[in-house]
C-alpha cells in the first residue's frame, strides 16, 4: 500500500466558522510539527499523548502567522484511517484553509486523492467495503430516511447480513470439498436433501434483501412524482406550498420536446423529485398535443402521480384523460380549492374514478392551497404508500446501492444453478463451483473479493477530503 502521508481539506469550501485540514500517514505528526508552534514558537506535538488537542499557530516558512488553530493529535491505529492522523481546526475561510493545506504539503505531505482517507480505512481493515461506501451515502443523504439507512449500513447492518449469508454458503462448500477430498471418512449420502433445504433458506435471505432495493432507490433518489391536473386546478400553488422553505435544487432534465423542470422537495422524512408538466396547460391543438404527450411520458415513468382537482368546478373531459394516465400507477387525488363553494363531492369523484379504473383505489385528500390545508395528510399518505412499516422494520437493511443489488442478484442466480444441479442429481463438484461463485459475488459487496480495479473505481467517486 501507498505509505505517503496525505492531506486534504476535510470540510466544505465555503465561508464558515471552522474548517479542517486533515493529515494522515506515518509522518503526519512530524509534518504538522514542522509548521505548528505554541506561543513561545516551539514545536508542540512530538512526544504528546494520543487523542489530545493543542492550541497554537500555523506559520509560513518565514515565520509569519497563517492562522491560529486547534490541532487534534490522534495516533494510529485508533483513528478513522488506522494511521497517525492530525486534524488542524482552522478558521473556516476558503483562503485560510487553502494556505494551511499548502503549508502542510510544503512540509512533506501529498495531496490526498478523492476518497483516499476512507480507502485507507478500508485497506487497513478499519471497515469493509459496504461500510466504506455507506460513509459516502451518509454525506450525500438528502432525507431522514436516506440518512437513517446510510447510518445503519455504515454501522454494518448490510455487511453483517451479507457476511452471515456468505458464511452459510461457505459452510456447505467446505463440507462438499472435505467429503470429496476424503470420501472414506465423509459421506455425502442424503446430503442433496439437506442442501436443498439450505439453498431455499439462502435464496429466501437473498430475495429478502433484493426486494428492499426498490425501496432503496426511492430512498436514494427520491420518489419520482408528477403533478397532473386541468389548467388552473392549483398545481403550481400546491407545488409551491410543498416546496415551502425546503425549496431546493432546480435541475433541468433534458429529453422531451421542451425541457421538463424537476424540483427536489422534502416532505417530512421523505424526498420527492417533482416533475412539473407545465406543457399540459397550454391550449391550442398542436401545443396541447405536445403537452399531453409529455405528461404521458412523465406519468408512465413516475413512482407517484398527484392528481389535482379543482373541486369548485364540475369534472370535465380532460379529467378522464388524466384518469387514464393514473390507471395502473400509485396515485393520490388532491381535492383542491376546498375553501370555495363545492361543485363536486369527494364521494362522487372517487366513484367516477373507480368505475373508470375498476379495481383501483386512489386515496383522496381534501386540500386548499390557499389555506395551506391537507399537507400533513399528504405526507402521511405518501409515507404509508411507500414506506409502510418505516425503516426500522425487522432490522433488515435496505439496499440503496445499485452495485450491491447487482451482486446480490448474481449471487441469487448462482444459487439457482446450485438448486438445479442438486435437483438433477448432478455430481457434487458441480454445485461447489456455483456455490463458490455465489460466495464471490457476496464477497464483492463487503470487499473480501473485490479486485483492485473495483476498489479504485469505488473510492474515486468519493469527495475530496473524505
* Residue ranges that bind ligand GDP, judged by CB under 6 A: 229, 231-237, 281, 336-337, 339-340, 368-370
Which residues does 225 contact at the CB level (< 8 Å), separation at least 6?
272, 273, 274, 275, 302, 303, 304, 305, 306
Cβ(350)–Cβ(235) below 8 Å: no
Output 235 or 264, the one with its CB closest to ligand GDP.
235
Closer residue to ligand GDP, CB minimum distance, 118 or 336:
336
The least CB distance from residue 346 to ligand GDP, in Å, is 15
- Would you say 168 or 339 has its CB closer to ligand GDP? 339
* In the complex, least distance from residue 312 CB atom to ligand GDP, rounded to whole angstroms: 7
CA distances from 22 to 45, 69, 124, 233, 279 (A): 15, 13, 18, 54, 50
Question: Minimum distance from CB of 276 to ligand GDP (Å)?
Answer: 9
Q: Which of 308, 313, 324 is nearest to 274 (CA)?
A: 308
Please report how close the Cβ of residue 335 comes to ligand GDP at its closest, in angstroms.
10
* DSSP string for 411-434: HHHHHHHHHHHHHTT--HHHHHHH
Choose among 433, 435, 455: nearest CA to 444. Answer: 455
- Nearer to ligand GDP by C-beta: 240 or 300? 240
CA-based R_g, the chain, Å: 29
User: Smallest distance, Å, CB 339 to ligand GDP?
Assistant: 5
Nearer to ligand GDP, 335 or 462 (CB): 335
Could you tell me the smallest distance in angstroms from the CB atom of residue 125 to ligand GDP? Answer: 56
Comparison of 11 and 236: residue with beta carbon closer to ligand GDP: 236
For the chain, what percentages of helix, strand and coil (3-state, to nearest 5) are there?
A: 50, 20, 35
Give backbone dihedrals phi and psi of 251, rounded to 5 degrees, phi first.
Answer: -115, 150
CB of 227 to ligand GDP, least distance (A): 8
Please give, one letter per residue, the 3-state secondary structure of 354-366. HHHCCCCCCCEEE
Instruction: Name the grid cell of 339.
Output: 375553501
The answer to whether 287 touches 299, Cβ cutoff 8 Å, is no
Minimal distance, residue 340 CB to ligand GDP, in Å:
5
Maximum separation of any 2 CA atoms in the chain, in Å: 88
Q: Nearest residue to ligand GDP, using CB?
A: 234
Rounded Cα–Cα distance for residues 127 and 403 (Å): 18
CA neighbours within 13 Å on the CB side: how many for 260?
A: 26
Would you give the DSSP letter of residue 340? Answer: S
CB of 291 vs ligand GDP, minimal distance in Å? 12
29 or 369: CB nearest ligand GDP: 369
Q: Can you read off the three cell numbers belonging to residue 296?
A: 404521458
**Distance in Å, CB of 161 to ligand GDP, minimum:** 45
Cβ proximity to ligand GDP: between 375 and 436 the closer is 375
Pairing of β 270-276 and β 223-229: parallel
Asked if residues 130 and 446 have their Cβ atoms less than 8 Å apart, the reply is: yes
Please, which residue, 201 or 320, has the CB nearer to ligand GDP?
320
Closer to ligand GDP by CB, 235 or 405: give it.
235
Amino acid at each position: 500500500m501507498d505509505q505517503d502521508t496525505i492531506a486534504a481539506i476535510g470540510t466544505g469550501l465555503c465561508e464558515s466558522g471552522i474548517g479542517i485540514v486533515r493529515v494522515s500517514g506515518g509522518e503526519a505528526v512530524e509534518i504538522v510539527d514542522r509548521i505548528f508552534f505554541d506561543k513561545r514558537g516551539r514545536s508542540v506535538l512530538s512526544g504528546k499523548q494520543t487523542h489530545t488537542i493543542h492550541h497554537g499557530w500555523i506559520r509560513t516558512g518565514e515565520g509569519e502567522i497563517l492562522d491560529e488553530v486547534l490541532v487534534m493529535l490522534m495516533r494510529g491505529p485508533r483513528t478513522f484511517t488506522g494511521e497517525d492522523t492530525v486534524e488542524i481546526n482552522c478558521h473556516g475561510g476558503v483562503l485560510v484553509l487553502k494556505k494551511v493545506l499548502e503549508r502542510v504539503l510544503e512540509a512533506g505531505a501529498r495531496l490526498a486523492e478523492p476518497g483516499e482517507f476512507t480507502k485507507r480505512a478500508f485497506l487497513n481493515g478499519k471497515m469493509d467495503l459496504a461500510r466504506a461506501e455507506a460513509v459516502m451515502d451518509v454525506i450525500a443523504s438528502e432525507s431522514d430516511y436516506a440518512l437513517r439507512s446510510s447510518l445503519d449500513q455504515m454501522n454494518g447492518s448490510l455487511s453483517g447480513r451479507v457476511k452471515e449469508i456468505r458464511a452459510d454458503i461457505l459452510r456447505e462448500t467446505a463440507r462438499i470439498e472435505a467429503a470429496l477430498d476424503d470420501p472414506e471418512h465423509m459421506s455425502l449420502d442424503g446430503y442433496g436433501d439437506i442442501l436443498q433445504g439450505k439453498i431455499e433458506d439462502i435464496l429466501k435471505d437473498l430475495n429478502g434483501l433484493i426486494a428492499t432495493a426498490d425501496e432503496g432507490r426511492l430512498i436514494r433518489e427520491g420518489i419520482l412524482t408528477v403533478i397532473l391536473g386541468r389548467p388552473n386546478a392549483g398545481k403550481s400553488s400546491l407545488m409551491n406550498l410543498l416546496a415551502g422553505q425546503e425549496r431546493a435544487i432546480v435541475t433541468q432534465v433534458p429529453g422531451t420536446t421542451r425541457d421538463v423542470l424537476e424540483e427536489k422537495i422534502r416532505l417530512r422524512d421523505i424526498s420527492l423529485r417533482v416533475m412539473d408538466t407545465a406543457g399540459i396547460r397550454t391550449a391550442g391543438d398542436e401545443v396541447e398535443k405536445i403537452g399531453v404527450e409529455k405528461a404521458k411520458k412523465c406519468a408512465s415513468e413516475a413512482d407517484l402521480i398527484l392528481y389535482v382537482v379543482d373541486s369548485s368546478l364540475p369534472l370535465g373531459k380532460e379529467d378522464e384523460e388524466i384518469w387514464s394516465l393514473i390507471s395502473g400507477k400509485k396515485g393520490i387525488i388532491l381535492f383542491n380549492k376546498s375553501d370555495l363553494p363545492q361543485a363536486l363531492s369527494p364521494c362522487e369523484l372517487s366513484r367516477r374514478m373507480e368505475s373508470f379504473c375498476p379495481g383501483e383505489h386512489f386515496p383522496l385528500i381534501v386540500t386548499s392551497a390557499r389555506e395551506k390545508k391537507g399537507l400533513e395528510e399528504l405526507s402521511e399518505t405518501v409515507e404509508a404508500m411507500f414506506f409502510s412499516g418505516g425503516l426500522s422494520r425487522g432490522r433488515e437493511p435496505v439496499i440503496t446501492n445499485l452495485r450491491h443489488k447487482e451482486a446480490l442478484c448474481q449471487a441469487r442466480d448462482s444459487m439457482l444453478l446450485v438448486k438445479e444441479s442438486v435437483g438433477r442429481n448432478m455430481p457434487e463438484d458441480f454445485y461447489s463451483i456455483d456455490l463458490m461463485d455465489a460466495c464471490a459475488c457476496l464477497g464483492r459487496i463487503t470487499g473480501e473479493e473485490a479486485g483492485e480495479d473495483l476498489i479504485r473505481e469505488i473510492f474515486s467517486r468519493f469527495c475530496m477530503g473524505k
